[in-house]
A and B are shown apart, each in its own frame.
Chain A
Amino acid sequence: MSISPDLAGRVYPAGDPYIVGREKIREFAAAVKATSAAHFDVEAAGALGYADVVAPPTFAVLIAQRADAQLIADPESGIDFSRVVHADQRFTHHRPIVAGDELVTELHVDTVRAMGGGAMITTRAEISTTGGRHVATTISSLLVRGEE
């Protein structure tokens, strides 16, 4: 099954909020070998002006990949997950993510470009608080390799 160019422009609306946990930030920070005390210690984060521990710069991938999963799971997308290669990634932070945030994500399929027998799909996740404040924009390009 090939990737439909009609996917471009599709928007997947926000689902249930993602609740950012203090322990999840600590776990993720340890997993990327981050050592800044602001990821682990509420007082150290407070000294930098944060209400709680602050997420590492790539933490939002957890939230963005949940949104991407909606697209990959959509039977109309024709994406075989086993053929997906992560080609590039960008995070733009409008403000840092901290523990306690309740975040919702709207996923936009920006472009679909045929490449060989496959396609390069660029998605954009717009992440906001449940109160409507914009927190982060993540952009990912996924290369779906064609069948050999």
Chain B
Amino acid sequence: MSIDFDSLSVGDSIGETVVSVNRADLVRYAGASGDFNPIHWNERFATEVGLPGVIAHGMFTMGSAVQLVTDWVGDPGAVVDYQTRFTKPVVVEDVAGASPTDAAGTEISVSGKIGTRDDDARTVRVDLTVSAAGQKVLVKSQAVVRF
């Protein structure tokens, strides 16, 4: 691990990234996770149940957002606790004219900063800000990293 725990301070940024999600990504996540709820792949069903359209799995957003933290720390197993609340859906359009597999998709912006540092446990809590279309889609999204 290349990061020096003692050099970390509350408020430090760990960086930012953008995760792009298109319909093909939702199909792949459905298959990998076993969550085949049609709101994540069928426009007709999604709108019938009152959604603005097909939406990403909350767990896709949660799972992809934490990549910023695992890349920063260099060890996926160092994330000892990770939680979030799901507030707004991430709508994923079927972009007209685009190749279904290469469509640009919806951009999910992820940034993180250190919220707390525990010197005894040698952990930091990284607070993530995760938004799409200008709205926060995850709230109280926090990953505890052990050094």
Q: How many residues of B contact A (CB 8 A)?
A: 35
Contacts A34-B70, A88-B86; A57 near B64 (Cβ below 8 A): no
**Complex: how many Å from CA A93 to CA B69?**
15
Q: Which 6 A-B pairs have the closest CB atoms?
A: A96-B77, A32-B63, A31-B32, A90-B83, A58-B63, A57-B79
Residues of A near B86 (CB, < 8 A) are: 85-89
A139 to chain B, nearest CB (A): 8
Check if B119 is an interface residue, CB within 8 A of chain A: no
**Complex: how many Å from CA A58 to CA B71?**
15
Contacts A28-B33, A54-B76; A33 near B82 (Cβ below 8 A): no
CB nearest to A34 among chain B residues: B67
Check if B35 is an interface residue, CB within 8 A of chain A: yes
Interface residues of A in 86-110 (CB under 8 A from B): 86-93, 95-96
Stretch in contact with the other chain, from B4-12, B54-62, B90-98, B129-137: B54-62
CB nearest to A98 among chain B residues: B77
Give me 9 A-to-B residue pairs in the complex whose CB atoms sit less than 8 angstroms apart, sorted by A's number.
A31-B60, A34-B64, A54-B77, A55-B76, A57-B66, A57-B76, A89-B62, A89-B83, A90-B84
Is the CB–CB distance between B80 and A86 below 8 Å? Answer: no
A51 to chain B, nearest CB (A): 11
Check if A27 is an interface residue, CB within 8 A of chain B: yes
Is the CB–CB distance between A57 and B82 below 8 Å? Answer: yes
Is the CB–CB distance between A27 and B71 below 8 Å? Answer: no
Interface residues of A in 63-80 (CB under 8 A from B): 65
B68 to chain A, nearest CB (A): 11
Residues of A near B70 (CB, < 8 A) are: 34, 36, 56-57
Is the CB–CB distance between B80 and A32 below 8 Å? Answer: no
Which of A31, A35, A92 has the most chain B CB atoms inside 10 A of its CB? Answer: A31
Is the CB–CB distance between A62 and B33 below 8 Å? Answer: yes
Check if A48 is an interface residue, CB within 8 A of chain B: yes
Is the CB–CB distance between B31 and A36 below 8 Å? Answer: no
Is the CB–CB distance between A33 and B67 below 8 Å? Answer: yes
B84 to chain A, nearest CB (A): 6
14 additional A-B residue pairs with CB within 8 Å, beyond A34-B70, A65-B35: A30-B32, A34-B64, A36-B70, A36-B75, A38-B76, A55-B76, A56-B66, A57-B143, A58-B82, A87-B86, A88-B84, A89-B58, A89-B62, A92-B81
